[in-house]
Amino acid sequence: MIAKADVRRVQEWMAHSDIQTTMKYLHYAPRPEDARLVAEAFALGDDPGRGRRAAATR
């Protein structure tokens, strides 16, 4: 989706005041484990086995 979006629109979505900040994110090349780490960090719900707090106690 982002590949088809206008850079200025992405800047607005992300609430960046500087287009250079947005460009840094758009040129980011994720590593394979990044998706899992982000999902764990932002996990929602009542499952105590997920999320940042659970990962910190393991």
Distance CA 2, CA 30 (A): 14
pLDDT value of position 18: 93
For residue 35, give both structure tokens. 């998706």
Q: Do 54 and 48 contact (CB within 8 A), yes or no?
A: yes
The pLDDT assigned to 53 comes to 54
pLDDT in single tens digits along all 58 residues of the chain: 456 778 888 889 889 999 899 888 887 777 788 888 878 888 876 555 555 555 555 5
Q: Could you give the count of Cα atoms lying within 13 Å of 56 in the half-sphere of its Cβ? A: 4
How many angstroms from the chain centroid is the CA of residue 12? 16
